[in-house]
Structure 1
Amino acid sequence: MNAVPGTGPPPGPLSVELTGSGPRLSRARPRRPDGADAVLVEPLIVGVCRSDLKEIAGRRPGPSQFGHELVGVVTRSSTPRLPVGARVCLDPNVPVTRGTGFARAMWVGGDAEALVRALPLAPAGVAERRLVFAEPLACAAHCLSMARRHRGGGSLRGAAVCVLGAGTAGVLIGRLAEADGARVLLANRDADRLAFLAERRMLPDGGGVPLAGLPGPAAGSAGEHDVVIVATSFVLPELLEHALRLVRPGGLVMLYGGTAAGDRLPGLDCDLDRVRRGERVAAASWRGRPVRVGGSYGTTPGDFGVALRALATAPDGLGVERLITAEVTLPELPAALGRLAAERCFGKVLARP
């Protein structure tokens, strides 16, 4: 296996592990996965994701994705397609064996083809602080790709799109939709998050409004948005009702936020979790009006290509770096994660292992 001579994790804490009592520093060396093919990545910068905080709180089912928004450099590699010295991002949806990105070194194991898909090469000349948004931006790109598919193909140019939820996911979905030519409105439960985005010049041209301030249709009238995307952490019933009131007859409501098995909304004949996880589109009726409900789940390698091109070529990289509010070191990270899980915070916090 090729390696950078003399490299290796420096002394001191080597990673942040997720334990039953919360995130803790660890001095355990990462172990190379079994198998012929593996790559050792030195994370350069890692973003804290909402799903990391869900794991800390014990509210995220399924396999761990702890520490997956990252930009790193390959320091050992068994495949020439991921050469030593290459900068890479991470696609956590590719089935490989890996450690956490909240570490000074992260092994990734699997067959060579899976490793290449899991570690997309980062474009040269783009700052790490911008590239660290590749994974959440790829998820946003996938959401819009599925919205276009559920609408029958084509672009969103000219479409009226309302995004419910002004967290990182909702903001990035809105930025990409606007870049595709859509007319975007961003809505959020609390006005202070919208004020934060306005201060950082991250609201779409259509602006941002509190959910309570949305022009809800009167009884019997129809909404005016072609697509309404529920981009909150979870698809809660009251948020889905907002979406259904806002969408025009025959329009599309996209489920992006989390759902659980068996989730349904009384009065809407639709299995929400099956639609979202299966990325299906269901024809339904809501209060006598036709509506389509579509799902988005995960990413594809093509979505990472869209995200990386946007970060490299869009004006100001879609402005993503304006969302960064803090950077911490590895020793500072457990306390920062605990605070972020317990408090209501805006923007993106980065760690530099």
Structure 2
Amino acid sequence: MKAEKETSGPAATPKEQDERTQVVIRALYDISQGEFMTPSFGEACRVSRDPHLRLRRTLTPSLNVGIPKYAEAQFMLSKEETTGKRLSLEFGVPFGGATRRFAMDAYAFGASEAEANVRVVTLHGISPGVSRTRWHALGERYDVIARAASTSSPRRVRFVALDWHSIDRSVDDRANTEFLTCLPKHIWETSTNGENLEDVIRLFDSEDRREWLRKFAKDIEDGCPRKDGDGGRILRAVIEEGLGWGERDTPFILGVKSWSGGLGVRMLAQCHRDCRNSKEDGATPSSFVDNMKGMIIMHPAYYCKSDIEDAMSSGMVPAVLMCWAKDDPLVPYKLSQTYLDAASGNTKVKLVSYERGGHHNFDGSEGLPNFDDDVIEWINNLQ
């Protein structure tokens, strides 16, 4: 499909343009049910009116903002990449005084929603490659466990892997006239100024790595269009409205890795502050985080010390399982101590350390440990 540079005949009216746009969008949605999107190439084209992410993705190359390495998003996972059952989660998030509707792909494994008494939702790192499917092999193991389990089994785990690269507006949402950029490379929750960042920079062993983080933070500050807690609010909306989890009868465990560690920590910090403000105002705090049973964190690429302290010390998350390699070049192992210090006194916070492996998926490949083994054991023992 190509965008024509020249047109003939009378110009279309706004209504006709809208009708044509909706036809194309619907066609793209129909195609996307079985299509595996591949990267496009060339210079990105800025557009003033962008009715739909898939439309923009098809007609123009990806607009790469902030982090040049990750220049493209792939929307649907192929069956070679996952055996999960694809779900479309619909949810709304307030932006600029109005609630904007989104859809996100998720992949479900294990027990059905009706059978589940343990619910796990996970989110990948920033890259559209292997990080994107980091949790799917673990989900497949829960499929096997679910098939083998008897009806009297005490654990019926429903495992859902979110796919942030698929985030999009609803096909029927005509109210949104501007593209709302929400890909991982466009949402990076971090404090990029002042001593807060320097506290983390000092944890790197070499000046080269310290300078790398300063430049990286500057690129984020200059390039990412979504800031100020957008990612944390979106993540909560996905879980609370999209999945319908976070109520008393639908408690959940949250799993995050690398980039998405920022979303999880920011979301918890926001909930902590909302709860504190509600109590000060005499209002009833939300029960959302009260129904969070635990959190799984893989080497979180998050550099806001105050958020880490709020999220880990608030008492909202009763149990945490973390993993980190001591030679991680992207997120220094010493940062793990910040999490442990913030959770001081909580004996249900566990850190799994690896001597080597860097910023790896730790999925058992390349002769490295499989963190999934620890996750399964931890969930089985979670009260």
Give TM-score, length-normalised by structure 1: 0.27
The higher-RCO structure (CA 8 Å, 6+ apart) is 1
Quick check: which one's strand share is greater?
1
